[in-house]
Structure 1
Amino acid sequence: MHPIDVLPDSPIQPVRQISKLFLERGIFSFQAACRYVKAMPYGANSNNEDSLILFQEECGTCTTKHGAIARLAQELGLEVYKNLGFYRLNDEIVTGASSLLEPHGLNFIPQIHCFLEYGEFRVDLTEGNCNGKNKTIEAYDFVVRVSPDLTHLEEEQYYLSYLNRYFTIDPQLAIAGIPTILKLLEACNRQVKYQCSLMSLTR
């Protein structure tokens, strides 16, 4: 069974803005909307605080792809939610990450990935996308349900809140300190983009 097949296949009704945008594109069911979004190229958006940007830029990341579908589910009254999952980023996930972390005595850095939650199921609409990762994220230390669209400040607050929990998991993170971790996170995000560009050349 394809992961999307576990989701409800409800018809899309013209409730509000995002449901109407899917209907305008000839997409008439929730599962079809998920497949449409999954098939979109993986790419950073100019604004990831509003998932409607997908329809303007025809690409998206885990943030905007899952945000759009969670927003559609909200309009249709479906119990499908966007989750933030916190995982340990290293070379196993993104080639080159460990070389950035090791000078600071770190084996990993906490990172966030988004996916859909439907009952006991988790569905990742970026699985198989050219996203710079070596594999789909499956092991999470913490998972939190969030609203479809978050501001940069809200996402940062989530990150810092859970970062404090990681300090008890790996005291070396606490020694490195929050400013260093945030700089390393930016560097790792650039490495993800670089790996994504390499992967696109081999496809």
Structure 2
Amino acid sequence: MHPINVLPNVTLHAHGVVSEKFLQRGLKTFHDACCWTRDLPYGANSNSEDSLILFEEGCGTCTTKHGVIARLAQEHDLPIHKNLGFYRLNDDIVTGVNPILASYDLDFIPQIHCFLVYENCRVDLTDGNCNGKNKTIEDYDYVVQVEPDLSEAKHQACYLEYLQRYADSFPKLAALGETTVMEVLTACDRQLKFQCSIFVQELATAT
């Protein structure tokens, strides 16, 4: 991943609702907005379909953080886009996932992360956040550009489309079927949230 300063920087103007939200908070440039968004606490939002929710709730995930900055980029005609990256989730990334996978005789489960893309550069605004992951994800099997905000239905449809590609190469995934894979994914997501809570507790203790 690359730092925020690889992205083009412009002075913010009131070109739309997203720009106005950042300007109301005293942020003057695109980079200022990116840094502010990166520094928001990592946390699940009550609605992931509208990235403006992070202004109300004061936190965000990779979905809403990159969604809102991609919308800001659109309002300022910047060629910066939100992308979904499909990677292989296991204990290397989230501690405690391997026992879940072992129950299904799996070495990994396909998972999605998102980030910003500008030219050949990728920027992750959750890098350094207390997000439950052991490391920044650098290796992706598939990357696809998407709209800043996706409905849950479109997000799931995209996952299932690429799950089929994995299933074509990994018979164990194909044998499980979509319903079971989604159950495994849900269990892994619970483990991610658990790890995130541990990181938060450790950070609080350290300070």
User: Do both proteins adopt the same fold according to a TM-score greater than 0.5, normalized to the shorter chain?
Assistant: yes
Letter in 1 for 2:182: L
2:58 maps to: 58
Q: Distance in 2 between matches of 1:171 and 1:83?
A: 27
The structural deviation recorded for 1:59 is: 0.2
Instruction: Look up the SS of the partner of 1:28 in the other structure.
Output: coil
Instruction: Look up the SS of the partner of 2:85 in the other structure.
Output: strand
Q: Distance in 2 between matches of 1:74 and 1:169?
A: 37
The structural deviation recorded for 1:192 is: 0.5
Q: TM-score, normalised on structure 2?
A: 0.96
- For the pair 1:157 / 2:157, whether they are aligned, the reply is yes
Q: Distance in 2 between matches of 1:47 and 1:103?
A: 31
1:101 maps to: 101
Q: Distance in 1 between matches of 2:171 and 2:143?
A: 21
Name the Cα RMSD after superposition: 0.7
Q: Distance in 1 between matches of 2:34 and 2:188?
A: 28
Letter in 1 for 2:53: I
Q: 1:4-45, CA deviations, whole angstroms, 9 ceiling, x for partnerless residues?
A: 010111111100100001000000100110000000000000
1:68 maps to: 68
Letter in 1 for 2:102: E
2:27 maps to: 27
Q: Distance in 2 between matches of 1:103 and 1:177?
A: 15
Q: Distance in 2 between matches of 1:156 and 1:77?
A: 28
Q: Distance in 2 between matches of 1:136 and 1:75?
A: 29
2:133 maps to: 133
The structural deviation recorded for 1:170 is: 1.3
Q: 1:95-126, CA deviations, whole angstroms, 9 ceiling, x for partnerless residues?
A: 01111011111000000000000000000000
Report sequence identity in percent: 57
Number of matched pairs = 202
1:187 maps to: 187
1:178 maps to: 178
- For the pair 1:116 / 2:116, whether they are aligned, the reply is yes
The structural deviation recorded for 1:169 is: 2.4
Q: Distance in 2 between matches of 1:86 and 1:162?
A: 8
Letter in 2 for 1:164: Q
- For the pair 1:78 / 2:78, whether they are aligned, the reply is yes
Q: Distance in 1 between matches of 2:24 and 2:104?
A: 51
The structural deviation recorded for 1:177 is: 1.2
Q: Distance in 2 between matches of 1:68 and 1:98?
A: 33
The structural deviation recorded for 1:176 is: 1.3
4+ runs of 1 displaced by more than 6 Å? none
Letter in 2 for 1:171: P
- For the pair 1:5 / 2:5, whether they are aligned, the reply is yes
Q: TM-score, normalised on structure 1?
A: 0.98
